[in-house]
Amino acid sequence: METVERRTEFVASDELPKFKLLLSCPAGLSPSEVSAVFDQKYDRIPHPDISLENTIAEMWERRVEQNPSLFNGLKFRYGGHGLDFGPDSSQKMNVRLHLGLTDYRTFVGTNLNPLWERFLVPSEDDWRRGQHTSNPLGNGAIVETSNKEVVVLQRSANVGEFPGHFVFPGGHPEPKELGIIRHQTDGSIQEMVEKRVSEEMFESIIREVVEEIGVPAATLGKPIFIGISQRALNVRPTAFFFIKCSLKSEEIHKCYSSAEDSYESTQLYTMPMSDLARITPKMPGCHQGGFALYELMVNAVKENKQSL
């Protein structure tokens, strides 16, 4: 069975696409099957239009005036990915994530800029098309309870993007967790750095789930990487993972009241897949893509069972 599908667009009736699946891994990939290539060649390229480039600082200054608590933290920038094929066609493919560095200021000034489309390059190649945008790699988790329901949050009015929308738990892998403040010039430790960046992709999603829904980390299974969705609006990329939780839905609801980051949301819901499908239109495009990745994974599991 083919384990990776790429660059699939999904269109609602008579509407523009809400998201694109840049990478789909229906069979799911473990940490040993996902690696990172961390290099400054995957950093953002400044736009040649100086006046457009200057709007980045202007956007940031306006946002800070509105919210003085904003902090300009470093993020990993998604610069595409590569696939490694084993000698046996039945084997899973390994994924190499191409990552650079960016920051929240540049994200606000490019992806969230009202002029964001002017930063894009006309191209069928996703990396080239977004080479002038920040494109920080977000993450999201499809958390399945022990009674086979999925956890969904409703965002609060305090968040900068999509207040009131339904989302899966998530956030970003963080360079600061690894002590990264710039690219390394010492080639002798590059392999070690890339190994830790690869691990952060999986460790960060556990942190985000624990912080946002309040469940103990010990109740969460190992994350399985299922792909990358890109929001059509401002080309925001998000990596999605599937995680099983050993708690029942009612137990998770109790944990939510003590969640560290519960201020980011107003309500936690748990629901079966059929109900989840009905609320996806009220999700940001990248999270609609996360649900599509989950559907592909579920269908792949059914097909495997039928073929046995």
Per-residue pLDDT, 187: 80
Which CA distances in Å does 283 have to 18, 97, 138, 142, 280? 10, 25, 15, 14, 5
Q: Which of 14-28, 83-97, 132-146, 248-262 shows the lowest mean pLDDT across its residues?
A: 83-97
Average pLDDT estimate for 275-288: 95
Phi, psi of 61 (to 5 degrees): -60, -40
Q: Is the pLDDT of residue 132 over 80?
A: yes
Average pLDDT estimate for 80-91: 78
Q: Which of 78-92, 94-108, 193-207, 250-264 shows the lowest mean pLDDT across its residues?
A: 78-92
Q: Which of 19-33, 222-236, 255-269 shows the lowest mean pLDDT across its residues?
A: 255-269
Q: Is the pLDDT of residue 13 over 50?
A: no
Per-residue pLDDT, 12: 45
Burial class from Cβ neighbours inside 10 Å (0-12, 13-18, 19+) for residue 257 reads exposed
Per-residue pLDDT, 162: 77
Q: Is the pLDDT of residue 264 over 90?
A: no
Per-residue pLDDT, 91: 64
- Best mean pLDDT range from 78-82, 153-157, 303-307: 78-82
Q: Is the pLDDT of residue 272 over 90?
A: yes
Which domains, ranges and CATH numbers included, belong to the chain? 8-307 (3.90.79.10)
Per-residue pLDDT, 15: 61
Q: Is the pLDDT of residue 3 over 50?
A: no
Per-residue pLDDT, 69: 85
Per-residue pLDDT, 164: 84
Q: pTM to 2 decimals?
A: 0.93
How far, in Å, CA of 43 to CA of 31, rounded?
24
Q: Which residues contact 245 (CB under 8 A, 6 or more apart)?
A: 143, 144, 145, 146, 151, 215, 219, 220, 221, 252
How far, in Å, CA of 56 to CA of 113, rounded?
8
Average pLDDT estimate for 193-199: 97
Q: Which comes out higher in pLDDT, residue 120 or 304?
A: 120
Q: E-strand spans in 53-144?
A: 74-84, 94-103, 138-144
Q: Is the pLDDT of residue 305 over 90?
A: no
Strand-pairing partners, residue 21, are: 8, 229
Q: Minimal CA–CA distance to 184: which of 39, 77, 34?
A: 39
